[in-house]
């Protein structure tokens, strides 16, 4: 199944053998298509307006990359909120606060090494045919009853961040492939019922998303 993820927080778009999904994730890992709203001529002015409001009304929020003065992130949220300043400020405030509370900036390979070693998910070395970073999830290696939910969440956020860093400003879409081959009852997770899924077979994943020399090894015929 395949799904897309865009940043700031991301939109997931899944593809899986069997599959393909599209969904907006919860909270700060959530986003909608940034192309749905044309950028107005005064976009720069709106970015500065949001930046000023955040400084005056939410001065305790962190600054720097992914902070309240990150103009690339501000522009992304303005696009996401159809350039409505107050809506962008509200979502940005929640997003930045969530990142702080979750400790996104402290995540590293070392901090997720135990759960990462299960091989349940990884960022593919190559992009798909549209130039999107690829996150592969192996459902048969996911055991929600045995693996701590908090560790799974950390791994998920770490890998999404890692994939998004392949973009110049951490902005864009990610293709997420959820491999359902070998999936059993013990791999089921209620979290996945939040996603809208369009299933497809492995051949479709190979032909629609990759070239022969860039597809993940697990999907090669």
Residue 71 belongs to some domain of the structure: yes
On whether both 204 and 127 belong to a single domain, the answer is yes
**Whether the model pTM is above 0.85:** no
On whether both 88 and 57 belong to a single domain, the answer is yes
Q: How many domains does the chain have?
A: 2
On whether both 167 and 203 belong to a single domain, the answer is yes
pLDDT tens, position by position, 177-217: 989 899 999 988 866 555 576 678 889 889 999 999 999 99
Residue 182 belongs to some domain of the structure: yes
3-state secondary structure of 152: helix
On whether both 202 and 117 belong to a single domain, the answer is yes
15 and 23 Cβ atoms separated by less than 8 Å: no
pLDDT tens, position by position, 16-62: 454 433 333 333 333 333 444 678 889 999 999 999 999 999 999 99
- Helices 43-57 and 85-102: angle between axes, nearest 10 degrees: 50
The top-scoring range by mean pLDDT among 30-39, 109-118, 144-153 is: 109-118
Paired strand residues for 21 = 3, 197
CATH number (domain holding residue 176): 3.40.525
Q: What's the CA gap between 102 and 47, in Å, rounded? A: 26
Domain with 207 in it: 2-30+108-219
Give CA separation, 82 vs 33, 34, 87, 104, 207, in Å: 11, 9, 9, 26, 34
On whether both 174 and 117 belong to a single domain, the answer is yes
157 and 100 Cβ atoms separated by less than 8 Å: no
170 and 5 Cβ atoms separated by less than 8 Å: no
Final residue before a domain boundary, out of 59, 86, 105: 105
Final residue before a domain boundary, out of 89, 105, 121: 105
């Amino acid at each position: 199944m395949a799904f897309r993820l865009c940043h700031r927080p991301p939109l997931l778009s899944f593809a899986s053998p069997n599959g393909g999904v599209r969904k907006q994730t919860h909270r700060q890992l959530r986003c909608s298509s940034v192309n749905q709203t044309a950028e107005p001529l005064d976009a720069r002015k709106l970015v500065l307006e949001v930046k000023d409001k955040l400084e005056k009304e939410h001065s305790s929020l962190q600054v720097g990359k992914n902070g309240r003065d990150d103009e690339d992130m501000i522009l992304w949220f303005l696009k996401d909120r159809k350039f409505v300043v107050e809506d962008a400020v509200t979502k940005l405030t929640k997003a930045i606060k969530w990142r702080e509370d979750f400790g996104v900036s402290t995540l590293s390979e070392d901090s997720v090494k135990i759960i990462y070693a299960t091989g349940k998910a990884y960022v593919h070395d190559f992009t798909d045919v549209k130039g999107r970073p690829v996150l592969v999830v192996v459902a048969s290696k996911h055991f929600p009853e045995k693996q701590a939910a908090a560790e799974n969440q950390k791994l998920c956020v770490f890998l999404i961040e890692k994939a998004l860093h392949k973009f110049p400003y951490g902005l864009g879409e990610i293709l997420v492939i959820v491999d359902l081959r070998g999936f059993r009852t013990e791999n089921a997770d209620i979290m996945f019922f939040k996603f809208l899924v369009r299933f497809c077979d492995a051949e479709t994943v190979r032909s629609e998303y990759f070239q022969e020399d860039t597809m993940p090894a697990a999907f090669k015929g």
